[in-house]
Structure 1
Amino acid sequence: MAFPRRKTLTHWLPLLALAAACSVGSAQAQDAYPSKPVRVIVPYPAGGGTDIIARLIGTQLSQRLGQAVVVENKPGASGMLGNDTVAKAPGDGYTVLMGITAVVQIPALYKKVPYKLSDLVPVSQIAKSADLLMVPRSSGVTTLQQFVEKAKAAPGSLNYGSYGNATSSHMNGERFKQQAGIDITHIPYQGSGPEVAALLGGQLTLAFVDATAAYPYIKSDKVNILAITGAQRHPALPQVPTMTEAGYPGLEANGWFGMFAPASTPKTIVDRLGAEVAAIVKSPELNKRLTDMGLIAVGSLPEDFKAQVDKDAAHWKSVAESARISMD
């Protein structure tokens, strides 16, 4: 009876050895990550804030990983082209996305999106932004409540500017109108630059301006800053209340910049990338660069960023539905 058992064992030994070799080989392959250059896809043109941050992160990430990190701009379709590139890329850690809040807003704004949010896995939230509510100083308005009273006294006569249709500023503006019960006209611009120029030129009575674009004007004698969206006051503007503190809740969601990978990427690689990016963001050098851009540095790990992504996706969907904002 021993002979057949010995024969069976002999039969299986090569297969067991092969399985063990494959297991060791797989572990060694993951341990060896990265063994080639890493691509960072930016779904917007070169020179913008997302591109600048991607290159800042990429330079230091290359040093930490010991491999080249190549930033590749893939603008188009409001960011969907670049997002889709990463969503459909192999989950091997060699293609990642430098995304912004639009990643979670797009599914709520468009009926046809070539990928699902679940096709991307959060790696690290790099920095937070917010919108500043600004008015011309010549208006004499110094508090948000004063603006609301002025708007209620003359329905339809005032306006507010945003840096584009279906952007965070547009959705924040519509949520503010709902919360305050006022009738003001939305005027979208192609970016924060033209929007700020219109505000300074007196064409706007109120503007929701991204903090990074507004940063050069925060001490200007031509504007008053009434409030800020997001969950906390801005470090550079400690005297400016949040919208909630000013009496208008529902605008606590921050804008952000964050890194994503294809959902099929092994957790070990996602965790490695998340830890490296978090360490980079928390370094004095990059922290200062982000602060100088008007941003609030974060540097979160994958689990924390995922919780934020899930929360924000639900928030922006609610805003888009209640304000009937759609790009279709």
Structure 2
Amino acid sequence: MHHRRSAPGRILSRIASIVGSAALAALAAGGTAAYAADAYPSKPIRLVVPYPAGGGTDIIARLMGTQLSQRWGQPVIVDNKPGASGMLGNDIVAKAPGDGYTVLLGITALVQIPSLYKKVPYRLSDLTPVSQTAKSADLVFVPRSSGITSLQQFVAKAKAEPGQLNYGSYGNATSSHLHGEQLKLKAGIDMVHVPYQGSGPETAAMLGGQLASAFIDATAAYPHIKSDKVNIIAVTGAQRHPALPQVPTMGESGYPGFEANGWFGYFLPASTPQPIVDKLGNELAAIVKLPEVNKRLVDMGLIPVGSTPAEFKPVLERDAAHWKSIVDAARISLD
């Protein structure tokens, strides 16, 4: 007695005869991801920037997006979604379909936010790292008129005048704020925090002689590193800044624990198949290594990286733990 094949069975056997049994086996065994990666990208890519147009993150997104579009033959549309300290844009990508067509350009704040805010609409694990594009650092500025030329001298003055000196930051709960609080804890000094709405106003205040000290992002500070109004006495991060080889790191100045660099990096929703993550990651890493892109990043005061997903992942894990320890020790909390 012959059993009639079920409808799905007939369809499968028909497909098998068309595509070949090996391909069908691959499909059945989850080879769909590989097929998806082969076809990717077949439509425009949306690149979400959680910050306003014209800022450093936006400039990098457009620089990289233009190259990606040229290499892949698909439009890359930069979509600025500022708000809620970057959480708005991060959340859009965290909840997007994992098909490789909604990409996030995130910054260090991404791994700082979970420690700082009680209510975050997404989990860090909802995003998967793709490629770290570049690293940044904070530079420690003091007025040249103060006569201070080293971090040790600044700490000595702060100890002699408790609560009299201030430090500027480019905003509440930014790396610069955390660095200032970390220095207070490590050096046992008391300083007043003066937050600004971004690095631009902070830099202007420093150059205008309104601050005793400031942690300023190297990207914003870059045009002013030769100014005769200021001395740059230290730099955060694991290495000295290439543009300021004479300026010691915080660690070299006697205060280890400031090794974490700021960064810019790309992310996809966690549900994205690994072959697509790898394909985008390899492409973005290659773009950073192009001489014209590399030069543009250096000219912005950044340290180009261009890493793979596997290289970026441990950086995130290490940095998330590092910033959490500072937030907890300094008891910083925002709502």
Q: Which amino acid in the other structure matches residue 112 of structure 1?
A: K
Which residue does the alignment assign to 1:324? 331
The correspondence of residues 17-28 of structure 1 with structure 2, limited to 5 A, is: 17=13, 18=15, 20=24, 23=27, 26=32, 27-28=34-35
How many angstroms apart in 1 are the aligned matches of 2:4 and 2:104? 49
In the alignment, residue 216 of structure 1 is paired with which amino acid?
P
Asked if structure 1 preserves the Cα contact closer than 8 Å seen for 2:111 and 2:320, the reply is yes
Give ranges in structure 2 of 5+ residues lacking alignment. 17-23
Match of 2:154 among 136, 140, 147: 147
Query: How far apart are 1:8 and its partner, in Å?
Result: 6.9
2:118 is matched with 111
Aligned residue among 168, 172, 175 for 1:168:
175
Moved more, 293-302 or 20-29: 20-29
Amino acid at match of 2:285: A
Q: What SS does the corresponding residue of 1:134 show, helix, strand or coil?
A: strand
Listed as ranges, the matches of 1:160-309 within 5 Å are 160-309=167-316
TM-score, normalising length: structure 1: 0.94
Deviations, residues 277-319 of structure 1 (Å, cap 9, x unaligned): 0000011010000000000000000011111011111111111
Q: How far apart, CA to CA, are the structure 1 residues paired with 2:199 and 2:80?
A: 21
Distance, in Å, in 2 between the alignment partners of 1:8 and 1:300 is 56
**Would the alpha carbon gap of residues 143 and 304 (structure 1) be closer, same or farther in structure 2, given more than 3 Å must change?**
same
Letter of the aligned partner of 1:314 in structure 2?
Answer: A
Structure 1 letter corresponding to 2:263: W
Query: Distance in 1 between the 2:193 and 2:73 partners?
Result: 49
Give the distance between the partners of 1:173 and 1:28, measured in 2 at CA: 49
Q: In 1, distance between residues paired with 2:234 and 2:133?
A: 24
CA distance in 2, matches of 1:22, 1:30: 14
Aligned-partner SS, 1:271: helix
For residue 260 of structure 1, report the CA deviation from its aligned partner.
Answer: 0.3
Q: Secondary structure at the match of 2:205?
A: helix
Match of 2:139, SS state, is strand
Which whole-Å CA distance do the structure 2 matches of 1:298 and 1:28 have between them?
29
Deviation at 1:194, TM superposition (A): 1.3
Per-residue CA deviations over 1:152-194 (Å, capped at 9, x if unaligned) read 1111111111011100000011001111111111111111111
Structure 1 window deviating more from structure 2 (196-205 vs 236-245): it is: 196-205
Identical amino acids, percent of aligned pairs: 74
Structure 2 CA distance, aligned partners of 1:156 and 1:255? 28
RMSD (Å) for aligned C-alpha atoms = 1.8
Equivalent residue, structure 2, for 1:131: 138
Q: Tell me the equivalent position of 1:313.
A: 320
In structure 2, relative to structure 1, the CA distance for the partners of 1:14 and 1:327 (3 Å cut) is same
Q: C-alpha distance in 1, partners of 2:245/2:95?
A: 42
SS of the aligned residue for 1:214 comes to helix
Q: How many residues align?
A: 323
For structure 1, list consecutive stretches of 5 or more residues without a partner in the other structure: none
Q: Report if aligned partners of 2:37, 2:279 keep a CA contact under 8 Å in 1.
A: no
Cα drift, residue 13 of structure 1: 6.0
Check if 1:67 corresponds to 2:74: yes
Which letter does structure 1 place at the counterpart of 2:195? P
CA distance in 2, matches of 1:302, 1:9: 49
Counterpart of 2:85, as a letter, is: S
1:90 maps to 97
Question: Within the alignment, does 1:122 sit opposite 2:129 as a pair?
Answer: yes
Contact preservation (8 Å) 2:36, 2:276:
no
Q: Secondary structure at the match of 2:140?
A: strand
CA distance in 1, matches of 2:234, 2:4: 75
1:78 is displaced (CA, Å) by 0.9
